[in-house]
Amino acid sequence: MGNKLTRSPMPFMHQLSDAIILLTKDFSIQEINSAAEKMTGWAQEELKGLPISSLLPDLNIKRNKQQAVLSGDIHDSMIVDVSIDDLGTDEAYQVCILKPVNTDVEEVNSGAIENFQEDLLVTLTNIVPDFIGIKDGYGKFVYANKFSGDIFGYPHTDFIGKTDADLAQLVPYFKPVFDYCIETDEGVWQEGKLQRCVEKIPTASGARIFDVYKIPVFDEEGVRKNLLVFGREITDQVLSHEKLQESESRYRLLAENSTDIISTHNVEGEMLYVSPACEQLLGYTPQELLSKKAFDLFHPSDIRQSLKVHEQLLKGSEISNFQFRLKSKKGEYHCVESTCRGIKDELTGEVIEIIAVTRDISERLEAEELLRKSDKLSIVGQLAASVAHEIRNPLTALKGFIQLFQSKGIVDCEKYYGIMLDELNRIEQIITELLILAKPQSKTVEKKGIKELIHYVVDLLDRQALVHNVHIVCDLEENLPLINCVENELKQVFINLVKNAIEAMPDGGIIHIDSERKGRNIEIIIQDQGCGIPPESLKKLGEPFYSTKEKGTGLGLMTSYKIIQEHFGQINIESDSGRGTAVQIILPIA
């Protein structure tokens, strides 16, 4: 063997796995390697010197590459790829390489690969939670994965060779499913291309739903070869989708039938959905409002406020009972109230949509206004009754005296004049105070210093105070800012309050009047050391004609409350029965 190798013009040929025949220039066999010996079934010694045509009878020696039939010892007729080339190192020889078109060796190898791939595929198809099956052209299963067996409670390996009709007999519970498969399979064959269908498989715990792909495969002649069936379970998706739709339709039902307008908007304010209630209130159909900007329907004076609200919504706050006016199709404005909130993107947390519930409140506002009016009316009624009562008493007295004079002729009636004048004074006083309340006197609002006002009142009442042994002590902050006021009205308030303080101290005492600035307001406190007001009477203060005094009108506090209220201020009274009263007045700075 060593000698042979050294003499060989192609010494390495024995190491090559391809079948190689070394030919002389006249195409006679010089040498063959062991792969060729194996392929042809002949030994080198048996072939040496024979023409190549004895191995490859139909070989065309003019062609470099071709397929030819190898007549060997093993195969009757084996087709091989033949290539013939010059042996580059020695011109006296040519190399003929034979490659089997379908050799045993190759078959073994590819078989191994196929087996391996098949194993891999089977393993893979058995671990996926999807239904995978392959049927032949007659509907018999050639393959079914493990999952298929699990669903039908029948060993998947036993599917092989059976049709759906066979399986329907073996597992009757699933007959409707197999019947449905037979029907859809036939549809797929007839269509001749991939089809998708939904299959429902009943189980004890409810139906399982599959999204099924069916792929028909035909051979070259168009004959049915295989049907690939692939089904993915979508029960959860379908159920959650159904649930979502159900809750969505429930909410839609609410929205569509609500008398409130329910709407959603994008962040630009464009309407994405509007419930039909809009038609009743605004005269627009929901369709007409879609993609309109909500702001376009707002009253111009409400725009600024609504932009602020919009900004807050985008920041994530919820807005309740925002009142504004909406323009109807006819151009009329309606008072409405909205409660809105932003809907956030789950991922970014940013507000992406706004949902609003809007309600017509014009009727409510009217009712409220009516209530306010009727409240006023009842006060007027109350007042009228009290006025009548208060005035009738002195009038009765006066009438009595005059009747007395009349019946007795003119007599010395000096002693009655005093009483008559007192009663007339009382009527006059009541009328004056009522006029302050009732008459819309021409009011001029001016900027005034509170200090000057108080000094004026103190000067006015000082004499009266001294008669009662009362001292008024003022402690007023310097440079207090001015306030907007109707001068005479405020004077009247201070007169009423200081008078009350004097009257509360029949045995004398001190009245402290303090005033100072508190933020945007001025605070004035009138503090006395008088009888005080018992707690149960505190809530009656300000009621018309509530008085504990023999000659009181009970109108002073009521008038004062009204005036201070009109000055956008506030009166608070604190009292300690037996120790004194403090009246606090708060007025805004101009």
Complex with ligand ADP: residue 519 or 578, whichever CB lies closer: 578
Question: Which one of 28-36, 173-181, 427-435, 495-503 is the stretch in contact with Mg ion (CB under 5 A)?
Answer: 495-503
Exactly one of 255, 465, 511, 557 binds ligand ADP (CB under 6 A); that residue is: 557
Q: Is 554 in the site for Mg ion (CB under 5 A)?
A: no
> Whole-angstrom Cα distance, residue 371 to residue 280?
27
Tokens encoding 388:
């009548």
Instruction: Tell me if 277 sits within 8 A of 288, measured CB to CB.
Output: no
Across 350-367, b (16+ Cβ under 10 Å) vs e yields ebeebbbbbbbbeeeeee
> Whole-angstrom Cα distance, residue 326 to residue 285?
15
* Residue 578: closest CA among 513, 497, 504: 504
Closest approach, Cβ 560 to ligand ADP, in A, equals 8
Q: Is 544 in the site for ligand ADP (CB under 6 A)?
A: no
| CA dist list (Å): 147 to 117, 169, 230, 346 | 20, 20, 11, 36
The residues, any chain, with a CB within 8 Å of residue 290's CB and separated by 6 or more, are 271, 272, 273, 274
> Whole-angstrom Cα distance, residue 186 to residue 282?
57
Exactly one of 36, 98, 553, 571 binds ligand ADP (CB under 6 A); that residue is: 553
Exactly one of 229, 554, 569, 571 binds ligand ADP (CB under 6 A); that residue is: 554
> Whole-angstrom Cα distance, residue 47 to residue 41?
11
Complex with Mg ion: residue 22 or 504, whichever CB lies closer: 504
Question: Which one of 117-125, 210-218, 324-332, 545-553 is the stretch in contact with ligand ADP (CB under 6 A)?
Answer: 545-553
Q: Is 97 in the site for ligand ADP (CB under 6 A)?
A: no
Chain residues 567-586 in contact with ligand ADP, contact rule CB under 6 A: 581
- Beta strand residue intervals within 13-164, DSSP E: 19-24, 29-32, 65-70, 78-86, 93-100, 130-136, 141-144
> Whole-angstrom Cα distance, residue 194 to residue 288?
44
Q: Is 548 in the site for ligand ADP (CB under 6 A)?
A: yes
The entry of Mg ion, ligand ADP, none that residue 302 binds, CB within 5 to 8 Å by partner kind: none
What is the number of other CB atoms lying within 10 angstroms of the CB of residue 39?
26
Complex with ligand ADP: residue 276 or 552, whichever CB lies closer: 552
The residues, any chain, with a CB within 8 Å of residue 586's CB and separated by 6 or more, are 518, 521, 522, 523, 524, 569, 570, 571, 572
Exactly one of 443, 447, 518, 549 binds ligand ADP (CB under 6 A); that residue is: 549
Instruction: Tell me if 559 sits within 8 A of 433, measured CB to CB.
Output: yes
* Residue 526: closest CA among 557, 551, 553: 557
Q: Is 500 in the site for ligand ADP (CB under 6 A)?
A: yes
Closest approach, Cβ 509 to ligand ADP, in A, equals 11
The entry of Mg ion, ligand ADP, none that residue 134 binds, CB within 5 to 8 Å by partner kind: none
> Whole-angstrom Cα distance, residue 203 to residue 174?
9
Edge-first strand order for the sheet with 319-327 is: 271-274, 261-266, 351-360, 333-344, 319-327
Closest approach, Cβ 502 to ligand ADP, in A, equals 9
DSSP state of 564: H
Question: Which one of 158-166, 448-456, 472-480, 496-504 is the stretch in contact with Mg ion (CB under 5 A)?
Answer: 496-504
Q: Is 492 in the site for ligand ADP (CB under 6 A)?
A: no
Instruction: Tell me if 318 sits within 8 A of 340, measured CB to CB.
Output: yes
Instruction: Tell me if 309 sits within 8 A of 340, measured CB to CB.
Output: yes
Complex with Mg ion: residue 33 or 496, whichever CB lies closer: 496
Cα maximum dimension of the chain: 187
Closest approach, Cβ 420 to ligand ADP, in A, equals 21
Closest approach, Cβ 457 to ligand ADP, in A, equals 15
Q: Is 496 in the site for ligand ADP (CB under 6 A)?
A: yes
Exactly one of 504, 513, 564, 587 binds ligand ADP (CB under 6 A); that residue is: 504
| CA dist list (Å): 176 to 7, 95, 188, 214, 223 | 79, 68, 18, 18, 28
Q: Is 556 in the site for Mg ion (CB under 5 A)?
A: yes
Chain residues 398-457 in contact with Mg ion, contact rule CB under 5 A: none
Tell me the per-residue interface mask from 440 to 479 with ligand ADP, x by CB under 6 A, - otherwise: ----------------------------------------
> Whole-angstrom Cα distance, residue 324 to residue 333?
9
Q: Is 501 in the site for ligand ADP (CB under 6 A)?
A: yes
> Whole-angstrom Cα distance, residue 429 to residue 388?
14
Q: Is 436 in the site for ligand ADP (CB under 6 A)?
A: no
> Whole-angstrom Cα distance, residue 465 to residue 472?
8
Question: Which one of 68-76, 121-129, 149-157, 531-539 is the stretch in contact with ligand ADP (CB under 6 A)?
Answer: 531-539
Chain residues 498-517 in contact with Mg ion, contact rule CB under 5 A: 500
Q: Is 163 in the site for ligand ADP (CB under 6 A)?
A: no
The entry of Mg ion, ligand ADP, none that residue 554 binds, CB within 5 to 8 Å by partner kind: ligand ADP
Complex with Mg ion: residue 82 or 555, whichever CB lies closer: 555
Query: Is residue 501 helix, strand or coil?
Result: helix
Q: Is 209 in the site for ligand ADP (CB under 6 A)?
A: no
Q: How many residues bind ligand ADP (CB under 6 A)?
A: 21
Tokens encoding 230:
């692939």
β-bridge mates for residue 263, sequence order = 274, 356
Complex with Mg ion: residue 262 or 465, whichever CB lies closer: 465
Q: Is 533 in the site for ligand ADP (CB under 6 A)?
A: yes
Q: Is 185 in the site for ligand ADP (CB under 6 A)?
A: no
Closest approach, Cβ 535 to ligand ADP, in A, equals 12
The entry of Mg ion, ligand ADP, none that residue 549 binds, CB within 5 to 8 Å by partner kind: ligand ADP
Complex with Mg ion: residue 356 or 461, whichever CB lies closer: 461
Tokens encoding 504:
């509360």
Complex with ligand ADP: residue 356 or 505, whichever CB lies closer: 505
Q: Is 29 in the site for ligand ADP (CB under 6 A)?
A: no
Q: Is 389 in the site for ligand ADP (CB under 6 A)?
A: no
- Binding residues for Mg ion, rule: CB under 5 A, are 500, 556
Residues that bind ligand ADP (CB under 6 A): 496, 500-501, 504, 528, 530-533, 541, 546-549, 552-557, 581
